Amino acid sequence: DSGVTQTPKHLITATGQRVTLRCSPRSGDLSVYWYQQSLDQGLQFLIQYYNGEERAKGNILERFSAQQFPDLHSELNLSSLELGDSALYFCASSTPSEGARETQYFGPGTRLLVL
Amino acid sequence: GDSVTQMEGPVTLSEEAFLTINCTYTATGYPSLFWYVQYPGEGLQLLLKATKADDKGSNKGFEATYRKETTSFHLEKGSVQVSDSAVYFCALSDPPKGNEKLTFGTGTRLTIIP
């Protein structure tokens, strides 16, 4: 158990809908990362938050957004869903500092199926 | 940009065989290197890591050495078990640039047969 929790574990929805995925980082970790794992694109970095602020952005679509709350949990919002958004979404956490090489610990993922 | 190239799978081996999964990287900075493992139906687990040249990461009988001269981080295990069947991902991060995201390889599916 990595200490990172994600809910829900599975999500089935229809095209055009909006969903919210939730992540609670390990105790003491300030950074949260979101990744998407799909068959055609592999594991792709979406976005990183550090202590409530957006820190880095990757291949995140404009239909997707995220935030990190004062209690450090994070939510990934996916809207106007398309079939191609079906994937496994992972959250990871770490406590990076300038020049540090901190390990990222991953949650179990949320499997999203868009029908 | 940064990239990771990983040995294509799937790889099928008999129990107690020697395992090598090749991984090479391209990075503009001085990255940290990782191997993550994903067991069926589960999330990613850190297997081992190395943060500087010639460092050897090891865990559960797996080893990988950070080779800066060949930009490689090959995963090895002397005697695999059926329980090692999983997908293995090589990854890098380059935090000194403030770029802490992980860049992953495509993954190598390993199946061990008894």
Please tell me the distance in Å from B72's CA to the nearest CA on chain A.
Answer: 18
The amino acid at residue A86 is S
Write out the E strands in A1-115.
Answer: 5-7, 10-13, 19-24, 31-38, 42-50, 53-57, 64-68, 74-78, 87-94, 105-106, 110-114
- Helices (DSSP H) in A1-115: which residue ranges? none
In this structure, what token pair is assigned to residue A38?
Answer: 């799909």
Asked if B107's CB is within 8 angstroms of A43's CB, the reply is yes
Contacts of A51 (CB under 8 A, 6+ apart): A30, A31, A68, A72
Asked if B43's CB is within 8 angstroms of A90's CB, the reply is yes
Split at pLDDT 50, 70, 90, the class of A102 is confident
Q: Is the pLDDT of residue B95 over 70?
A: no
Asked if A106's CB is within 8 angstroms of B36's CB, the reply is yes
Please tell me the distance in Å from B95's CA to the nearest CA on chain A.
Answer: 6
pLDDT in tens, B5-39: 998 889 999 999 999 999 999 988 788 999 999 99
Please tell me whether residue B97 adopts helix, strand or coil conformation. Answer: helix
Round to the nearest angstrom and report the end-to-end CA distance of chain B: 41
pLDDT in tens, A8-17: 999 999 999 9
Does the CB of A112 have a partner CB in chain B at under 8 Å?
no
- pLDDT at site B37: 96
C-alpha to C-alpha distance for A44 and A61, rounded to whole angstroms: 12
Please tell me the distance in Å from A46's CA to the nearest CA on chain B.
Answer: 9
CA dihedral B60, B75, A48, A18 (to 10 degrees): -90
Chain B positions touching A104 (Cβ under 8 A) are 46, 93, 100, 102
The amino acid at residue A61 is L
Sign of CA dihedral A23, A25, A31, A37: negative
Asked if B98's CB is within 8 angstroms of A98's CB, the reply is yes
- pLDDT at site B114: 94
Split at pLDDT 50, 70, 90, the class of A101 is low
Residue B61's CB is within 10 A of a number of other CB atoms, namely 13
